[in-house]
Each structure stands twice: as structure tokens, then as C-alpha cells.
Chain A
Amino acid sequence: MSAAPQFDPVTLQVLWSRAISITDEMATTLMQTAFSTVVRDNHDFAVGLYDAEGDLLAQANQSTPGQLYCMQRVMRDLLEAHPAETLAPGDVLIANDPWLGSGHTPDVFIATPTFRGDEIVGFGVTCAHHTDIGGRLAAPDAREVYEEGLILPICKLYERGEPNALLFQLIERNVRIPERIIGDLRAQMAANHFGGERLVAFLDDTGLERLSDLTQAVVAQTEQTMRNAIADLPDGTYTHAVELEEEDAEGARLEIRLTLTVKGDEIDIDYAGTSAQVALPINSVLNMTTAYSVFAIKCALNPHTPNNKGTSAPVRVTAPEGCLLNPVFPVAVMHRTAIVFYCVQAIFEALAAARPDRVMAPCGTYPLWVERFAGKADDGTPYVGAFNAQGGQGARAEKDGVSTTVFPANVASTSIELLEAEAPLLCDHKRLIPDSGGAGRQRGGLGQEVVLRNLAREDALLSLSGGRFHIAAPGMAGGGAGALGRIRIGDAPPEGRRRQVLLATETAASFAYPGGGGHGPAFERDPAKVLADVRLGYVTAERARTDYGVVLTDDATAIDADATARLRAAPPLSPD
């Protein structure tokens, strides 16, 4: 396959960069006009520009991967429900059905057709994670999607420039802080509007009649690089299973089973054998499963090219209907990152057999930790929000893991000062946890500990997330596991595994975020690096000895070379 003949390699590069720059500008507009911390400060959104046929041309670089992939599918469904020829200037389409979009109700997709004269020339589309969409505030024990807030059928939010009053009333009546939700919907429209203006100028400037030829050329080019990267892998079938600590109704642990087949320039990813869906909000719709599977392949093989459907074309993802990774409506799906991030682990661990240099050890950042909270301040003002913080990433073949940094999603942590300014919560501390990174020739990233306290007289409702409470992030290629995650309410662990709790006044909730796995045998780590880790407090002197076989002098300022050599000569203790 090659670029469509009408674009030479220069013109294609020029037009493509410009299309991407339009989406980056849309993303900026969204962040600047958004009301929720989730969008403006945590960057939980995605932005795309589509041609008139509904095919994605370009996406903003600053987006979160799950939404990025899923938005490619959404446009098709929107146009099936509202064919382009029925749309008029001033129409705005909206959808948030988890099975059409990115797998849970808070992710609301808004699409705005762009007209040049009477003709649709493309669509600006944004997806934003809304602070609240009604229901039981992301209840961690939800069984059905009905508990997870409003599901809006694909419909028009605006028709010929007039707001759909009934829909707005419906939303306002069903969410906790309507002005923030409506404000973010308006921010999405502002971003789309802006993209539309830029798109028309782009067509005027370049003399292009329509975008579809360009889309096809861009997709073909992307697909070819992806195929080339896959072709570099040896053909073969790699199987892998990841045991999850989540349990089914009978108390048996769930499992992801992966069969990854490389054949020529294509990859087939099949999740047959994966556990059946469960009556918990952790199921991942196939869109989301595919999103993170393709993401993992791209990270490992072809990280430096723009993303569009050409990226996923040579990667086929299947999962049996009714399993965790392709669940059937109306099962609950809100916290799908609790499961779907482990697809990335499964794929990286499977690829490690062929290319350990191209993948990272399992992360303490699977699953995503987002603690949602709501309540009333003492002056009666309601508050609702989310607290983001993450554990450590897995180590790479040549580099230590990154501490406390999100992966594979891409959302920023919550500023403590902003949190405290917007809700009657107070953070006692937020600090790295020594020894939490998995030992290895390359050390896993460190996790952190955060303690949040309710200052209000009224109880705060807290929806707990997180994981790795029982199964730590394993090491890779002989590396050790990261530390476990842990949650305490007051002094006690929360009852049950997934739940909402009420946090009484001046009561603290404490969160230990898990560390990432190490890469390579820890006894092969350069002792000087171990000493540096001890000096910086990343590793204790005790664990330097037991995990790394590095003995330090009594004041822990230098390496005892003889003792280290003796210890390292002995076979390392098997990890418990």
C-alpha cells in the first residue's frame, strides 16, 4: 500500500501536519473553556477531526489513549443514526452509550458538522470525561449500567443552532452540579466550533475540495509503517495469561488469556479463554479492549507516528462475547480500567519473549486509581470531584521505571491545593514509598502514599478504586515485584473489595499506591546505583542487602565491596 497518488511525500506531510495542528488547537480551546478539574487540569479528554464521510483524519496529541481509539468508532455510529444529508448548520450531536463509545457513561462525545456553503466538509469531535453523569457516583459495587448514570441515546444537543431544551433539562435534573456539566458540554462545543472554523480556512487555503482523499492517504501511510514494524517481529504465536485479583461471584479470581499471533505484517490478538463478564463495574467493552490492545502494540513497535485507523488496521482484536473484555449490555462497566489495563501487561509480557528490549515490566499503575468523592460543605454548598494519583511504572530494559506517573491512560494528578480549595478535604501527606519499586537490574518506579481527611461536618461519600491489593506488579526478565496497593479508612481496611464508604468528619482515608515491577535480576544492578537509591531514600539499606545483594557501610554512605561480592556470589534467595 502507498499514499494515494495525488499527494507527493512533501504535500502529504504539509497537509497532515496542518490537520494535526487543528486538533491540537481544539484541545487547547477545550482545556481553556472547561469547568471541571478533570478536563482542564487532569486532561481526561480526546479530540479529533473527521472527514465528511466520518473517517478520522487527525487527533490531538494531548489526549488519553482509550478515548482516542474509541472516537474513531463513534463517528460511524453517529452518522448511521443521523446521516450527513439530514444534518444542518448549527446541529450538534451527542452520545455517551458505553457500548458505542469508550466504555463508560461519563465519557461524553460531541460531534459538530462543519459546513462550507451547503455542504458538510468534515466534523469536529471531542470526548470529555465529565465529573458526574448521575447515578450512584461511580459506585464500585454497581451490577448494571443503569446504576452508572444517564445513557443518552444518540441525539441532537443543538438543532439548527437551537438548544434541545428537553435534553438540557433532563441532564440538569440528573446530575449533582449541573452548571459544571453543562459548562463542559459548552466547552466541547466551543472546541468543535473552533475546529470547524480552522477546517474551512484549511480547505480555502489549500484548495482541497474535500478531506476524504487526504484521510485515505494518511491512513494508508500510517498503516504501512505499522505493517513494517510488525514485519520486523518474528512470526509466531505467543500465549500469556494474567491472573487478576478481581473475583467472580463464586470468589474465584478472574483471568485474562491472550493468544497473540504474529504473521507477516499482521498481528492477531485473541482473548478467548478470558473469564466471563461479572456483575461488577469492571467489564471492558470491546471498543475499550481494542483501544488498549492496539495502544500496547503501538507503544512497543511504532511509538513515533501519528495515530489514526491505519494504526489499528493490521491489528485484529477479538474477544468472545460475554467475557470480561467484550461484555454484554446491561452489565456495569464504569471502572473498566480495573481490567483493561491488564491487557497492556498481557501483551507486553507476551512480546517480551521476542523483544524484551521493546516493552516495560508490569506497572503499579494498572489499574488506574481515581477516588471519586461528593458531599456538602458546612455552608451547604455541594461538592463533587475526583482525586487522581498513581503508583510507579514498570522498569524498562535500559532504564528504571518512572515513579508515580500514569500509564497507560494519560491523566494528570490532582493538585492538593486545588483539591482543598474546591472541597472540604485535607491531605495529611503525599509522599513516595521507599522500597515500593520492584527490585531489578533496572528498578521499578516507586508508589506513593496519600492520606485524605474529611473536614466537613457532613460525611463525605467516597467511591474507592485502585487495585494490586493482593497481586503486586510482577517483575520482568528476572526482576522483582513492586509493592502492593493498600487502602485504609480510619485504621481499618474497607470492608469488601469494591465499595463506597462514608468518611466521617476528621476521619482519614489512606491510600498506598503500588510500585512497578523491576527488569532483570536485582543482583546484577550496579552497586553504585543501589547506593544512590539508598542515599535518596528510594531503597532502604536493609533491602539493598536482601534484594540487591549490596552491603553498605554502617552509616550507609559507601559500599562494602567485599561483603557485597560475597553476598552476590551466593545464589540469591528465591523471592517469597
Chain B
Amino acid sequence: MSRRHRYRLGCDIGGTFTDFLLDDPATGGFRVHKVLTTPDDPSAAVDAGIAELEAEIDGGTNLMAATDYLIHGTTLVINAVIQRKGARTAILTTQGFADCLEMRREIRYDIYDIGAVYPTPLIERPYRYEVPERLYADGAVRQALDEDAVRAVFQRMLDDGIESAAVVLLHAYANPAHERRVAEIAAEAAPGIAITLSSDVMPEIKEFERTSTAAVNAYVKPLVARYIARLEERLAARGFRDGLYLMLSSGGVIAPDTARAHPVRLIESGPVGGALAAARLGAMAGDGNVLMFDMGGTTAKSCLIRDGGVPIANTYEVDRVHRFKRGSGTPIGVPTVDVIEIGAGGGSIAAVDGMGLLSVGPESAGADPGPACYGRGGVRPTVTDADLVLGYLDADYFLGGAMRLDTEAARRAITRDLADPLDMPLLDAAWGVHEIVNENMAAAIRMYVTEKGGDLGGAAVVAIGGAGPVHAADFARRLGARRLLVPRGAGVYSALGFLVAPVAFEAARTKLTPLTGADAGEIEVIFETLEAETAQIVENAVPGADIGFSRAADVRYVGQGGTLRIEMPAAATPAAIESAFLAAYSARYGAAYDDMAAQIVTYRVTACAVQEQRDLTLPFAADGGLDAASKGERPAFCPERRRMVPHRVYAMDRLPAGATVAGPAIVEEDSSTLVVGAGAEIRVDGRGWLTVTLADTGAAS
């Protein structure tokens, strides 16, 4: 974009806090602000926060009039689904299939648990209406759409007070004509009902997954439309003219109109920021391959970034009955930054399990009552308690000293619940908590990397979040990683990601195309159609912008279940696509076969407005020597020697550029603490991050 920015504002509505990040490119300064979220009307918190920020800056300025880029993320969609607070929603589907949403895939997510329950369908049985019509799998019409029946259904919906409807007809991914005709009829018969077509939100085969996705979109559509309208009103009242963008789960941002049409694409913008910020940090550090590791109080999140790109998954699961059990939730098939969430954080509770072994999480003490050391009524030992006992945290400098920790309470909890029953020394039990939570996270991430067909290779670990840098060294060793990148402001770093999100939109089309003997022209036409579609959406968001496209295809051997995503340049020949597939397949599975035919399953295009990239560094100006940064020494646990040894302690914001620090050492800042052991070396980069090279000792344990 060529427009000159004054202020850029990132605003993320979370469950508890609404966070603001104000970026003043003129000074290079960032300002972070938080207000309590207002669940009944989330735009009220946005409004209040803006007012407070305005007062903070320099009183007189009209902040919003001077802001021409506002990136907004919201948990509105996910919360509406989880709390079942969406619109009164209906499904209109092919006769005979109204129960699809409720019958799911008929498989259990836990093979031994006979007490298992499954999510209540978003749309109740009485509001799942059927109409006569039928397509064959190739999209040909078997039975014409009964338009009178469609009209009658919309009349019943009006009588039932329906506000929003998902139209899901069998095989609509192959031929959307019947669904589109239903939309036309709805526009006449029931113009007040918001319509979602399954062929728009997820034009892919498998009726349950598509129904589930369309249902979520329909369920939140009126809510999101009302919310955006209210927000625009409030912003306009404060002088904001133009430049509101909504954060998508796919890591792009888009204009409000597009968000209103595809609200399911907004489902989870929270984890996106960390992934974008880590990718940007990797790029600044000259490293396109990094593993984002963001460990907070309740969960840890991770994301593998390769060649600078944030990975995108095309299926996602929300509203799980068991938060960390796959298959226990509602699947949605929209592009989403592929971030894995693990039930491991500072608040994770440690206990002796039914096997007589030490286990950690997924149960969490959260912030209330919190870890035993918070002294707020929590008595069960947590990861934070273990970190405190191990000397990794400073009882007097937690959150920069804003909260004093009770070390004795932590020792008591670990002794009573872990060390005594296991007949282990206190420190060994505490270290056990530390390494088990690390192994839990590492195990989940190994699985995640495998599913993506990836290899951690030499990826550096970007350690962020309050607990991330505390656990990063041992965690990284378990994954075979030897290098950490720790940014200044690690504890709040993910918020910065909003400011580097591109204006971008992805579209996909399922069309089985055999690669042998394929018509290059046919492939090109599909890609060009998708480019035209996505370009229009991006152009609408950023008029006049230069738009770049990236193309990919999901390719497999004919008949196979999984696909490999193959990125390709424009006008790639079928032969080139096939050989890229064979190479990728062989690299991943050990062998490729020339006696099996390959085919494209899904075409994917992302259109992205070309924008300049903002550096993501918090300003710092340390000009003293290493001594000026020193905060002395304190004892902390050394796993190799299994006892406390002295660690030098430094203040992160006083470390001078170019300095190196040898482990064992601790580097503190308000929002987080980095701990490294003997043999590790920390280098201070001039632009605000630390590069840690770990000792080559093999994984712990």
C-alpha cells in the first residue's frame, strides 16, 4: 500500500481482556493497552479502550482520525459457538439427510471410555428441514429442485422465527446450481433470513464435514453482521474514516464485507498473532524455518514455519467436549493457521496418576485459584510452582515484581502431592514436573509435525509467552533443536503479529484432475478463476493495491486418503506438478512409485496485497556493558548435576548489542524469564532479540 500511515492500531478481543497495540511508525514506538472485555457488546470495550488510549497519548489528538489502519481480531465467533449464543438457525438439506449433522461420523474419540458424550448439534432437529432434489456425485441432476417445497420451507422458517439458514445439498461441491437457486428463492420468500451456502463456505466432498462448517457459518452470521455494524458506528463516531480490517483464522486480514459473508473464517484469530510474529522474527533473524513455541498459563501453542510461510490447515475442530481429544468437537473446513494447542501451561496441575507415575495436566489451576505459590487459594502443585522451586523464577520479580510468589507454599504443595508419595527428593520431583510438561508438549508437536509431513530439521525455536522462555531450552532439546530465538517482550510478543498480517484471502476448489495426460489449459483455467475471485475480495479491501498470488494443489495417488500440498509457480505444467509431488512423497514416506497415477484433488489460491513489512522489535537502547545488565547470581537447578548451581542473572532490557553470555544463566524481563544451562551461549542481537545456542548433549532423561 502506498498510503502514508500515521497510526496503526491492532485490537484483539479475548475472553477476558481486549488488547490494544498502537503502532506509531513515525517514532517506531509501540504502545500496549488492555481493558476488560464486555461480552454483551464487545464493541463497547473497543470504544472504551480507544478512549483510554487517546487520553494516554497526548490528550488533544483525535486518535481515530489519525489512524488509517485498524486490524481487529475477535473471539466473538468461537465464543458464540462454545456458549451456544448464536442465531436461531436452520438447515435446509436434501430430502433424507436432515440427521447428518447429528449423526456425525459414528466413531468414538476414546475407545475405552463408555461414559463419553458428544457435542450437542448447533442446530436442533426440528429446525433441520428437507426438500426434494438430488444430484449425482458428478454434479448431474437426478431429481430437479422442488422449488415449491423450498418456498414452503422458508415459510415454515419464518413461522419458527429462524434468523439464519445453512443450505447444504448433497454433492453441491460438484455443482452448486441447486444451492444457488435456493438462495434466489430465499431472497424473495424470506429476505430477512441470512443464507449460507455449503458450496460457498466449503466446496469439498464429505457431507458431515461440509454440513458442520456451513452450520457454524450460519449460526454466527447475524451476530457478526450486527457486531461489525455496531463497531463501524462507534468508530465513525470517534472520527475513524476508513481502514477497518478483520483478522481471519488463516492469518490474513480482510474488509468487513467479506467477513460478514464468511464469518466462519474469523473463528480463531487469537493464536494467529503468535505465528505471524514468529514468522516475522525468523525473517528478521535471517531464518525462514522456525518453530513458534508460545507457552502461557493454561495452554501452549506451537506452529512450524517453513520458508517464512505460516502453515495453513484446511480442517479445524472447535468446541470439543474434551478440549485436547481430537474428534470430540465440531469440525470446520476453512483455512486456518495450523497452530497446535496443547494442554500444558504454567497453571497445569501435577499429580501422581492412577499408574503411580508423575503426570502433569491437562487440568489447570488457571489464574484462579492459580498455582500454590500465587497464594490465592490454590493448593495443588503446578508447573509454575515447580519452576519457582527450581530457581527458574524469582519470587520477587514475577511479572516484573507486580506479584510476589510464595516459594514455601510451592515447596509444600510439591512435597505433599508429589515428592512424598513418590518417595523422591523435592528437587527431583520439581524437575520431574518441568521435564514431563516439556515432554508432553514435545510429543504433541512431534505428532503435529508428522501430520504436516514436516521435519523439524534445523529449525530454531522462537520462545514466547510468559512460560515459553522458561521451558524452551529443555523443550527444544527434546525435539532435537539446538537454537532458540527469544524476542524482547516475549511475554506479549504474539500481539505484535496482528500488525504484520497481510490483506489476503484464500479460495479452494475440489476438482479431481489426473496428472498423466492432463490438459494444462484446464488446470490453468481453474487457477485463473480462483485468482479472479480472490483478487476481487482483496481489491475490495485495498483498492488499487498490487496483488500477488500463490498457487498450491493438494495432490495424491489416485484413491489415496491423504494429500500433499504442492506449492507451484504460475503456469506449472502437469508434468512439473507430478514430479514435484513424487519428490515430496519420496522425501516424506521413503519411496515413491511410478506404477501409480497421481491426481490433483483440490486447487488453492491465495491473493495477497503487496505491502511493506514493518520491523517487529521493541525499541531498546542499552549502551552500558554486560556488567550494567547484571543482576547478580541465584541458585537454580542443573539437571545434569541434579542439584542447584549458581546461575548469573541479567536484565534483558540492559543487555548490550553484540554481547555474549555463557550458561548457566537467567535473563529476566517483566513478561518472561529465559533460563539456559551450562554449555549454552546467548548472543544479544542489536535489533532486540537473543539467539541461544544450546549445548549438544542429546535430549534430557
Contacts and interface: CB of A to CB of B under 8 A. Distances in A.
Contacts of A14: 435-436, 439, 701
Interface in A227-267: 228
A277 interface: no
Contacts of A411: 107
A326 interface: no
Contact of B113 (A15, A198, A303): A303
Main secondary structure of the interface of B (DSSP, over half): loop
Contacts of A109: none
Nearest to A10: B432
B562 A32 contact: yes
Given A194-B590, A420-B136, A431-B96, A15 B701 contact: yes
B446 A25 contact: yes
Interface stretch (A39-47, A81-89, A135-143, A314-322): A39-47
Interface in B512-558: 557
A405 B113 CA distance: 13
Nearest to A450: B96
B684 interface: no
B589 A190 contact: yes
Contacts of A554: none
A305 B447 contact: no
Interface residues of A, number: 99
Interface string B431-466: 110011001101110110011010000000000000
Nearest to A64: B111
Nearest to A186: B593
Contacts of A24: 447
Given A194-B590, A415-B205, A35 B114 contact: no
Contact of B106 (A12, A37, A412): A412
A13 B126 contact: no
A576 interface: no
A224 B590 contact: no
Contacts of B142: 426
A299 B142 CA distance: 46
Q: Which of A63, A451, A537 has the most CB of B within 10 A?
A: A537
A10 B96 contact: no
A179 interface: yes
A206 B699 contact: yes
Interface string A1-23: 01100001111111111101100
A495 interface: no
Nearest to B107: A412
A10 B428 contact: yes
A448 B124 contact: no
A428 B699 CA distance: 57
B137 A224 contact: no
A456 interface: no
Interface stretch (B229-237, B287-295, B350-358): B350-358
Contact of B206 (A43, A304, A418): A418
A3 B95 CA distance: 58
A538 B352 CA distance: 43
Contacts of A540: none
Interface residues of B, number: 77
A411 B137 CA distance: 24
Given A10-B428, A416-B207, A407 B108 contact: yes
Interface stretch (B97-105, B213-221, B606-614, B668-676): B97-105
Contacts of A304: 112-113, 354
B439 A359 contact: no
Contacts of A410: 107-108, 111
Interface stretch (A72-80, A145-153, A396-404, A457-465): A396-404
A421 B205 contact: yes
Nearest to A306: B355
A390 B108 CA distance: 12
A33 B698 CA distance: 31
B107 A405 contact: yes
A426 B358 contact: no
A303 B447 CA distance: 23
Contact of A388 (B95, B106, B108, B354): B106
A417 B559 contact: no
Interface string A279-310: 00000000000000001001110111101000
B137 A420 contact: yes
Interface string A164-192: 00000000000000011001001000100
B366 interface: no
A275 interface: no
A187 to B, nearest CB: 8
A201 B205 contact: no
A427 B118 CA distance: 25
A390 B106 contact: yes
A535 interface: yes
Contacts of B698: 204-207
Interface in A192-240: 193-194, 198, 201, 204-207, 221-222, 224-225, 228
A421 B358 CA distance: 49
Contacts of A536: 124-126
Contacts of A389: 106
Nearest to A218: B355
B591 interface: yes
A544 to B, nearest CB: 16
B115 interface: yes
A334 interface: no
B557 A221 contact: no
A413 interface: yes
B106 A406 contact: yes
A56 to B, nearest CB: 16
B557 A206 contact: no
A274 interface: no
A18 B439 contact: yes
A327 interface: no
A406 B136 contact: no
A28 B447 contact: yes
B136 A28 contact: no
A21 B97 contact: no
B99 A43 contact: no
Contact of A413 (B103, B352, B439, B595): B103
A360 B436 contact: no
Contact of A194 (B113, B171, B424, B589): B589
Contacts of A566: none
A198 B449 CA distance: 13
Nearest to A40: B561
B659 interface: no
A429 interface: yes
A436 interface: no
Contacts of B701: 10-11, 14-15, 206
A399 B356 contact: no
A430 interface: yes
Contact of B560 (A33, A300, A430): A33
Contacts of A307: 112
A31 interface: yes
B106 A429 contact: no
B436 A416 contact: no
A13 B108 contact: no
Contact of A21 (B98, B443, B589, B699): B443
Contacts of B397: none
A404 B701 CA distance: 45
Contact of B358 (A2, A9, A29, A406): A9
Given A9-B422, A410-B111, A402 B116 contact: yes
B358 A190 contact: no
A65 interface: yes
Given A8-B424, A28-B451, A430 B100 contact: yes
Give the 6 A-B CB pairs with smallest separation, nearest first. Answer: A40-B561, A429-B96, A32-B562, A10-B432, A413-B106, A21-B443
30 contacts: A3-B356, A8-B428, A13-B359, A13-B439, A14-B439, A21-B447, A25-B450, A31-B562, A40-B560, A64-B111, A179-B559, A180-B559, A183-B559, A183-B596, A190-B589, A205-B478, A221-B355, A295-B112, A299-B113, A303-B110, A405-B108, A412-B105, A413-B105, A413-B107, A415-B208, A416-B170, A417-B206, A432-B102, A432-B103, A537-B126
